[in-house]
Structure 1
């Protein structure tokens, strides 16, 4: 079992980040790519606080079933609470699990989805093979992941910003995974159906936006991976000062991969 990367303090932060309009739209595009149908069984790998899994549970209906797994017991607890609040406990279940070692029989699921998961997984080839194994023939697979080389953030000191981001991506096992995924999916025996870009674009400082929501976490992760605290604090202060129109700019590309199991 992989060690959980997220603890109790991360649940509320992630729930707020996932409520940002651009992430709500990302989930809608992911669900459209999966095309979940009533009565189907689906697996959400790395379900986090359970928003996507609960949305998919509505789509598969009372005759279907969605399973969400996550390495973090705190995320599983939050997901179960969400399902109970939303009256979905009978059609969605959550359990602690490892993306690289799925504890399900082969050909169990009609669809598998993994959003912002494989950038954390060291054994990514094994994780993809496991997803392929538990998919039924003809099953659908959707992956959303980020290439952090695509991150653009307007700052006063570009060199300092580069140092922040270089330290920040030390948190990830695979910060530049998307260009490799077409080949990795084929190697796992899957057929790539489509790739599209999900741009996250913020043109003003909005506390409810995705980018403003990750400023604090980005700073803390950069410090954890070796950046001096004073330099990280100065970077954060610069971004948080950009509250006037025209002073703030953030862009990051995520990529949505759709594949099937022949």
Structure 2
């Protein structure tokens, strides 16, 4: 996916995710006036929520390796009037360009545990740049139910290559995102904990939520045509293609939900 398409996808998805991510961030109770890092920040949508959580005297640094995403983030932050409270820096989460104990906390969403990289070194890098007693938190999309009334088809879709994302087939079980509690313990973070959040949407859907759900369905199962049986493929095309008269979002009793899981702990010292 090119940068412009990816940015569009992030913006379209935001109405679906903003509320739940605000709840996730509230759960870790970032101190007012604190300074923190959003590692793998993309276009900075979560930087806005993090800045909201730490208040007027706090500061958020967003880091990403894609200049195009950072440029977009700077524009969004400028439009929001938060340029004094949010800044961006280009860099790689594998080797963070910050000194030890720079931040009061570090956050990363849909990044550590999602990429094909080993998660433990990435989590160690996050904890390295956080002051003793500070918070390290990672979170990610963990499940969804988008096809109410069709559990068999949805189960088959979850089992195809695209449906497994971001939990890549062939990964060691202990590197699966939902095993992150063990990573926190392995690197010595204190009081590791986990919480899963859920949110749902039902008909009638607003234009923004309908667009976000349509985009999500298209993103989740891009390889369905290659991996489903002919019968399942026919049902998938009937229910999941926006041009179909039976597109599932047209149901008057449509309901979908998804979950987002948060892991967090504290740097020793």
TM-score category, normalised to shorter length? 0.7 to 0.9
Does residue 1:95 correspond to 2:89, yes or no? yes
C-alpha distance 50-236 of structure 1, shift in aligned 2 (>3 A): farther
Aligned residues: 251
Report the RMSD for the aligned CA atoms in angstroms: 3.1
Calculate the TM-score normalised by the size of structure 1: 0.80
Q: Is contact 2:120–2:183 with CA below 8 Å preserved after alignment? A: yes
Q: Is contact 2:163–2:221 with CA below 8 Å preserved after alignment? A: no
C-alpha distance 200-71 of structure 1, shift in aligned 2 (>3 A): farther
1:111: which partner in 2?
105
> What's the CA shift string for 1:181-212, capped at 9, x where partnerless?
11111112112343221123334473533533
> What's the CA shift string for 1:99-125, capped at 9, x where partnerless?
222111111110111122221252211
Alpha-carbon separation, structure 2, partners of 1:235 and 1:137? 51
Does residue 1:140 correspond to 2:140, yes or no? no
Alpha-carbon separation, structure 2, partners of 1:62 and 1:253? 30
In structure 1, runs of 5+ residues without a counterpart are none
Does residue 1:212 correspond to 2:206, yes or no? no
Single out whichever of 9-18 and 206-215 deviates more from structure 2. Answer: 206-215
Does residue 1:128 correspond to 2:123, yes or no? yes
Q: The residue matched to 1:192 in structure 2 has which SS? A: strand
1:9: which partner in 2?
5
Q: Map 1:135-174 to 2 at 5 A.
A: 135-148=130-143, 151=145, 153-154=147-148, 156=150, 158-159=152-153, 162-163=156-157, 165-169=159-163, 171-172=165-166
Shift of 1:61: 4.6
Shift of 1:87: 1.7
Q: The residue matched to 1:185 in structure 2 has which SS? A: helix
Alpha-carbon separation, structure 2, partners of 1:137 and 1:70? 24
Q: The residue matched to 2:93 in structure 1 has which SS? A: coil
Q: Is contact 1:160–1:235 with CA below 8 Å preserved after alignment? A: no
Alpha-carbon separation, structure 2, partners of 1:85 and 1:208? 20
> What's the CA shift string for 1:221-244, capped at 9, x where partnerless?
x369x548x976862541352222
Calculate the TM-score normalised by the size of structure 2: 0.79
